[in-house]
């Protein structure tokens, strides 16, 4: 697993739609190298999940070179499967975010995998989303 990057992403909305936030935790070689969260204003849970992935892609495209593989780990099966090409993107708001993510992917010259996991395996990013929502809503 050496030289592999893991980007834990999460997003959430209270009220769906309602106050929304996104967060990322980036881990390289077993060590957290970056944590970030962002208040998004009003949005849906799925929009916030996409925003978490986009936040991660933006950070990786600006800060990482020389890694062999990047795994994005999120607890949204919908977003993971849409970005992996397994599900179609039917919602227009999500489609715009999908294309933003795919454009950012092109700036990163290594393979990207999207993996859906249980919320328990994404605890730090989930905690950061909830902290951001508590502080801003």
Q: Where are the domains of the chain?
A: 4-136
**Interval 62-107: pLDDT, tens:** 998 877 789 999 999 999 999 999 999 999 999 999 999 999 999 9
Alpha-carbon separation of residue 5 from 12, 27, 31, 40, 94 (angstroms):
23, 6, 10, 25, 25
Homologous superfamily of the 4-136 domain (CATH):
Ribonuclease H-like superfamily/Ribonuclease H (3.30.420.10)
- CA–CA separation, 119 and 2 (whole Å): 25
Does the pTM surpass 0.85? The reply is yes
- The predicted pLDDT at position 2 comes to 62
- CA–CA separation, 117 and 73 (whole Å): 7
């Amino acid at each position: 697993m050496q030289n592999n990057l893991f980007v834990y992403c999460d997003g959430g909305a209270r009220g769906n739609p309602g106050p929304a936030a996104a967060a990322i935790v980036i881990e390289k070689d077993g060590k957290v190298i970056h944590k970030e969260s962002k208040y998004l204003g009003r949005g849906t849970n799925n929009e916030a999940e996409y925003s978490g992935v986009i936040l991660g892609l933006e950070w990786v495209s600006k800060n990482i070179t020389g890694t062999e593989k990047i795994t994005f780990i999120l607890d949204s099966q919908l977003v993971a499967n849409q970005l992996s090409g397994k599900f179609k993107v039917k919602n227009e708001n999500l489609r715009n975010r999908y294309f933003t993510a795919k454009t950012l992917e092109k700036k990163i010259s290594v393979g990207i995998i999207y993996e859906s996991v249980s919320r328990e395996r994404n605890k730090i990013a989930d905690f950061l989303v909830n902290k951001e929502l508590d502080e801003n809503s």
